């Protein structure tokens, strides 16, 4: 789900019906890690990040991400919000190497299907300023994916901390205006 995790998309009416299932399969296959980087949620959620976010893609489609507070320390994410099949993750903030990161654990979709393998974790850097949410996913092409422990994953990140491609290109979302 790398790079696409915290986004959602609205497939245009003129798209073929087979496109969404193919995209969802590709995204599920793209989940990065079998081990978490962070243990239990220890930080309070950033309430500024809660809400419905969207961005317009170059082809004109709109991606949507819904971030909800599950409790004081965890979020639930829904992506792509509004699509025929939405994906769900639990997420929490943690401090790592002087930076606040988000750990995501994907657990299922709106059709009731759970992931079919253990590659369910992703890590993201983010910032919120007013009505703008910026997200950069940890790039598993740089760190590698096949770790037996959280310590191995942490070491791979540390070994690449100066690599400018350690995180993906920034995804910029704006707070969605909900109309009544």
Summarize pLDDT for 33-63 with one digit per residue, the tens. 999 999 989 899 999 999 999 999 889 999 9
Count CA within 13 A, CB hemisphere, residue 58.
1
- Kindly state the average pLDDT of the residues 88-115: 95
Q: What span, in angstroms and rounded, lies between the C-alpha atoms of 131 and 178?
A: 13
Secondary structure of residue 46 in the 3-state scheme: coil
Residue 30 has a pLDDT of: 54
- 3 against 141, higher pLDDT: 141
Residue 81 has a pLDDT of: 85
Residue of 133, 70, 154 lying closest to 105 (CA atoms): 70
Q: What span, in angstroms and rounded, lies between the C-alpha atoms of 29 and 68?
A: 24
pTM: predicted TM-score of the whole model, two decimal places: 0.80
- Kindly state the average pLDDT of the residues 66-86: 93
Residue 180 has a pLDDT of: 61
Secondary structure of residue 168 in the 3-state scheme: coil
Residue 13 has a pLDDT of: 36
Report the mean per-residue pLDDT for the chain. 84
Chain centroid offset of residue 136 CA = 9
| 111-151 tens-digit pLDDT | 999 998 999 999 999 999 999 999 999 999 999 999 999 99
Chain centroid offset of residue 74 CA = 14
Is a pLDDT exceeding 80 seen at residue 153?
yes
Is a pLDDT exceeding 60 seen at residue 6?
no
- Residue pair 168/139 in contact (Cβ under 8 Å)? The answer is yes
Share of the chain above pLDDT 90, in %: 73
Torsions phi, psi of 84, nearest 5? -60, -40
């Amino acid at each position: 789900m790398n790079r696409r995790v915290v986004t959602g998309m609205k497939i245009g009416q003129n798209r073929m019906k087979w496109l969404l299932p193919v995209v969802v399969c590709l995204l599920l296959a793209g989940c990065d890690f079998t081990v978490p980087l962070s243990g239990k949620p220890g930080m309070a959620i950033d309430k500024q990040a809660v809400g419905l976010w969207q961005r317009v893609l170059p082809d004109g489609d709109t991606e949507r991400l819904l971030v909800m507070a599950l409790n004081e320390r965890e979020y639930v994410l829904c992506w792509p919000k509004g699509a025929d099949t939405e994906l769900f993750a639990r997420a929490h903030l943690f401090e790592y190497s002087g930076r606040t990161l988000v750990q995501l654990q994907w657990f299922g979709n709106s059709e009731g299907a759970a992931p079919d393998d253990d590659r369910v974790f992703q890590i993201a850097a983010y910032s919120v300023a007013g009505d703008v949410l910026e997200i950069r996913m940890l790039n598993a092409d740089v760190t590698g994916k096949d770790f037996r422990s959280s310590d191995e994953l942490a070491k791979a990140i540390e070994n690449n901390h100066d690599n400018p491609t350690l995180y993906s290109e920034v995804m910029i979302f704006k707070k969605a205006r909900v109309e009544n």
